[in-house]
Amino acid sequence: MNIVVLAKQIPDAEAHIDIGNDEKGLTIEQKFTANVFDEFAMEEALRLKEKHGGKVKVITLGAGKATEVLRTGIAMGADEVLLLEDGAFLNGDGYTTALALSRAAALEPFDVILCGRQAIDDDRGEVGPMVAQFLGIPHGGGITKLDVADGNATIECPVEGAKETIEVNLPAVFTAQKGLNEPRVPPIMGVMKAMKATIPRVTPADLGISPEEAGASGSKVKTGRYFHPKKRAAVQMIPGEPNEAAVEAVRILMDVERIL
């Protein structure tokens, strides 16, 4: 079974983020980590391979620190990696990212594509479903269980107030969320192997994508500026014994804030 994982290296949740004076760019502290949802995808891919055989290939798009997520993949047990690295790929939106990743995934026949439900930097959650649509295959969103047999997959997806069991024909895309598994800690031998691994790279031309279709040029959505959300006023502490404070809180919520 050929399993593809789409993964992304993202700034750590606690990394400092500054907005440039022109409000057009962000300066982000150089603390990076693999996207938490992609780690679930990676773990699930490895479990599928352990059960059914085949290979796991991890693909990412980016430059610089982006390669770290590929090395994490190798350390965990992935067989192959691929980096989409070219200036033309950069600063794209969900559409150009999904187009490039779908072409890269389809360079070889595959049965399953796994990726995170969303990346917690952009929080778009678009790439998985878009990749599926570009490839004309089904997707299962936010899965917490995956079983594969006879060219079909049975998945479980929690939806609002219910849990659905769904069957899809393979090949298909699945987006992983918390609850699917517990990602393994890479063994030390894996880490050593990952450090030495050479990372193959492809450009838009290798994927049949013109420079106009890639990255910032091909994006359908453009960022105008960045700004900080309005700061909350300093907290007002409600003093008194627990009972008094509770009564006062209810008064504030009902009479001052008029929430209820």
Partner 1 sequence: MANLLLFIETKDKEPKKASLELLGEAGRLKAAGRYKIHAVVMGGMSEDAKKKALTYVDVLVNITDPVLDQYTPEGFALALAGYAKEINPQVVLASATQLGRDFLPRVAVLLGSGVASDVTEIRWSEDPITFVRPIYGGRVLSEISFTGYPAVVTVRPNTFAGEEPGTENGEYLERQGGIAPEQLKTRVIKTEESGKGKVNLIEADIIVAGGRGLKSAENFRVLEDLANTIGAAVGAARSVVDAKWRDQEDQVGKSGKTVSPKLYIAVGISGAIHHTMGMDTSKLVLAVNTDPNAMIFSYADYGIVGDFAQVVPAMTEEFKKRLGR
Binders of partner 1 among 96-115, rule CB under 8 A?
98
Place of tokens 């500026």: 225
We find the least distance from the C-beta atom of residue 168 to partner 1, in angstroms, to be: 5
Closest C-alpha among 127, 131, 141, 130 to residue 176:
141
Among the listed residues 38, 44, 121, 213, the single contact to partner 1 using CB under 8 A: 121
Residues 123-142 that bind partner 1 (CB under 8 A): 123-130, 132-134, 137-142
192 or 238: CB nearest partner 1: 238
149 or 195: CB nearest partner 1: 149
Residues 65-94 that bind partner 1 (CB under 8 A): 93-94
How far apart are the C-alpha atoms of 168 and 133, rounded to whole Å? 14
**H or E segment to which residue 99 belongs:** helix 94-105
Using the rule CB under 8 A, is 259 a contact of partner 1? yes
We find the least distance from the C-beta atom of residue 197 to partner 1, in angstroms, to be: 28
We find the least distance from the C-beta atom of residue 225 to partner 1, in angstroms, to be: 5
Using the rule CB under 8 A, is 221 a contact of partner 1? yes
Among 62-70, 75-83, 193-201, 215-223, which window interacts with partner 1 (CB under 8 A)?
Answer: 215-223
**Residue 117 corresponds to which tokens in the numbers above?**
């439900």
Residues 158-187 that bind partner 1 (CB under 8 A): 158-169, 172, 177-179
Place of tokens 């959505």: 221
Classify the C-alpha dihedral 167-170-174-179 as positive or negative.
positive
Among 46-54, 70-78, 184-192, 244-252, which window interacts with partner 1 (CB under 8 A)?
Answer: 244-252
Q: DSSP labels for 145-160?
A: EEEEETTEEEEEEEET
255: left (phi over 0), alpha (psi -120 to 50) or beta: alpha
Closest C-alpha among 53, 44, 9, 12 to residue 199:
9
192 or 254: CB nearest partner 1: 254
